């Protein structure tokens, strides 16, 4: 083969390679682009996309259910604290902070700054600053059933004015010892000052209010068709305190932990694929390292046990919600979960001065 023939053969080979590259170019995808496209599709979770099936409008409602964004988002919990104990700031909050958990603190306005056992207003400000919610738990922790009209207005309206005076609008209320939520007179006054109210005592809060076999109701309206108060409504959100004595029986620390695990997991049959239909709302009170203090009240919890509980929630993918993430759809008469907590001023009722009593502090 001469030199001229060799050059012709090389040129023909190069031409064939060039043609092949041009023809195959549209079908080739860079590896980085392929991985990126796959990631963007798989990272969309239920409730994040406007085109997610079942999500209607901005309410987050899907046939009475609520989508919550985030990993393992079918397991949620609302953690509450009552009675303004200083130990909630000293012991509970550092543990919550360790896992990025937020809670709702039901403060007794007349007890804040009262003595060393209770929180200061600086403590309350710190809780709110760090993303927790502040709610009202009356003025003096009075049992609302059977009090006079003037006392009722003082405990409810007086507490509202007290909190507003210190810069906390508190749209949410909690009944001391869960007393008063079944009393029409009490509920009527609660509705004048608060957007929602929490009572007890049930391990789960069903957002459509239909999960209580002993108390059947069609929806979450305040009153049933016969005019009586519904068992669950916007002024009677169901929760349960965590106590170490049940039916006069003292439970051991391992028994209490197992009870906690069972209670928080009781939601699993109702919540699937990121849609929330039931929420455990658990209320804590005092925390201690002291056995003598622990034995004084059944609602007191040992700090190591509380830490074990919070670690369990973290390690098992639970998402904590504050109470102000609970919304109410007045068209469908069901509750729903808002993805972003907000103590919205639009939900705050004014605190009128009742004619029955002049409130002062």
Q: What pLDDT score was predicted for residue 340?
A: 64
Round the average pLDDT of the chain to a whole number and report it: 82
Could you tell me the pLDDT band of residue 9, with boundaries at 50, 70 and 90?
A: low
What does DSSP say about strands 275-276 and 319-321: parallel, antiparallel, or unpaired? Answer: unpaired
Q: Which helix (H) or strand (E) holds 334?
A: strand 334-337
Taking Cα atoms as reference points, which of 180, 110, 192, 178 lies closest to residue 147?
A: 180
3-state secondary structure of 133: strand
Q: Taking the CA of residue 202 as centre, how many other CA atoms within 13 Å lie in the half-sphere pointing to its CB?
A: 19
What does the pLDDT read at residue 11? 56
Give the rounded percent of residues in the chain with a pLDDT score beyond 90: 70
- Out of 31-35, 136-140, 201-205, 349-353, least confident range: 31-35
Neighbour-count burial of 194, counting CB atoms closer than 10 A to its CB (0-12 exposed, 13-18 middle, 19+ buried) = buried
* pLDDT above 80: residue 296: yes
The yes-or-no verdict on residue 8 having pLDDT over 70 is: no
255 backbone dihedrals φ, ψ, rounded to 5° = -65, -40
Rounded mean pLDDT of 78-92? Answer: 98
Angle value at C-alpha 278, between 277 and 279, nearest 5 degrees: 135
Structure tokens at 22: 């041009």
**The pLDDT value given to residue 247:** 80
**pLDDT value, residue 346:** 39
Q: What domains are defined for the chain? A: 66-347 (3.20.20.370)
Compute how many other C-beta atoms are within 10 angstroms of the C-beta atom of residue 131.
Answer: 14
Question: Can you give the pLDDT at residue 68?
Answer: 58
SS3 34: helix
**Residues 76 and 282 sit within 8 Å (Cβ to Cβ):** no
3-state secondary structure of 99: helix
The fraction of the chain above a pLDDT of 70, given in percent, is 74
Per-residue DSSP letter, 185: H
Q: What are phi and psi of 247, to 5 degrees?
A: 50, 45
Instruction: Report DSSP state, residue 319.
Output: E
**Token duo for residue 17:** 């390679």
**pLDDT for the residue numbered 274:** 87
Q: Which of 101, 93, 135, 352 is nearest to 239 (CA)?
A: 135
pLDDT band for 66, please (50, 70, 90 cuts).
low
- Stretch 337-341: mean pLDDT: 80
Average of pLDDT values for 266-274? 93
Of 284, 238, 282, residue with least CA distance to 84: 284
Is 90 exceeded by the pLDDT of residue 129?
A: yes
- Paired residues of 302 in beta bridges: 288
The winner for highest mean pLDDT among 9-13, 50-54, 253-257 is: 253-257
Residue predicted with more confidence, 146 or 34: 146
Give me the mean pLDDT over the 82-87 stretch. 98
Contact 324/80 with Cβ under 8 angstroms? no
The predicted structure's pLDDT at residue 14? 52
- Quick one: pLDDT band at residue 56, thresholds 50, 70, 90? very low
The sign of the torsion formed by the CA atoms of 101, 300, 236, 169 equals negative
Average pLDDT value for residue range 301-322: 98
Amino acid 304: pLDDT:
98
Q: Which region among 29-38, 119-128, 147-156, 203-212 has the lowest average model confidence (pLDDT)?
A: 29-38
Kindly report the pTM of this predicted structure. 0.78
C-alpha 93 chain-centroid distance: 16
Residue with tokens 């003025």: 139
142-183 confidence digits (pLDDT tens):
999 989 999 999 999 999 999 999 999 999 999 999 999 999
């Amino acid at each position: 083969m001469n030199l001229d023939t060799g050059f012709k053969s090389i040129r023909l080979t190069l031409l064939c390679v060039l043609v092949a590259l041009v023809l195959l170019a549209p079908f080739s995808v860079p590896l980085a682009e392929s991985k990126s496209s796959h990631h963007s599709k798989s990272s969309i979770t239920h409730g994040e996309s406007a085109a997610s099936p079942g999500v209607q409008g901005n309410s987050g409602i899907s046939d009475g259910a609520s989508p919550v964004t985030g990993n393992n988002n079918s397991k949620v919990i609302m953690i509450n604290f009552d009675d303004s104990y200083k130990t909630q700031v000293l012991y509970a909050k550092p543990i919550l902070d360790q896992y990025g958990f937020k809670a709702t603190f039901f403060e007794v306005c007349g007890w804040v700054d009262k003595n060393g056992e209770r929180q200061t207003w600086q403590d309350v400000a710190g809780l709110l600053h760090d993303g927790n919610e502040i709610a009202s738990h009356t003025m003096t922790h009075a049992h609302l059933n059977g009090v006079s009209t003037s006392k009722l207005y003082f405990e409810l309206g007086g507490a509202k004015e007290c909190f507003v005076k210190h810069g906390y609008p508190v749209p949410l209320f909690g009944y001391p010892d869960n007393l008063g939520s079944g009393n029409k007179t009490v509920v009527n006054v609660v509705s004048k000052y608060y957007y929602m109210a929490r009572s007890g005592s049930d391990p789960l809060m069903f957002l459509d209010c239909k999960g209580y076999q002993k108390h059947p109701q069609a929806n979450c309206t305040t009153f049933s068709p016969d005019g009586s108060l519904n068992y669950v409504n916007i002024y009677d959100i169901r929760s349960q305190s965590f106590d170490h004595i049940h039916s006069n029986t003292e439970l051991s620390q391992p028994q209490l932990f197992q009870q906690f695990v069972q209670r928080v997991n009781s939601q699993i049959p109702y919540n699937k694929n990121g849609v929330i239909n039931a929420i455990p709302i658990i209320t804590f009170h005092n925390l201690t390292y002291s056995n003598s203090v622990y034995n004084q009240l059944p609602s007191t919890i040992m700090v190591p046990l509380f830490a074990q509980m919070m670690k369990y929630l973290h390690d098992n993918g639970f998402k904590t919600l504050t109470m102000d993430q609970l919304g109410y759809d007045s068209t469908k008469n069901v509750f729903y979960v808002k993805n972003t907590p907000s103590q919205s001023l639009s939900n705050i009722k004014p605190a009128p001065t009742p004619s029955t009593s002049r409130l002062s502090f």
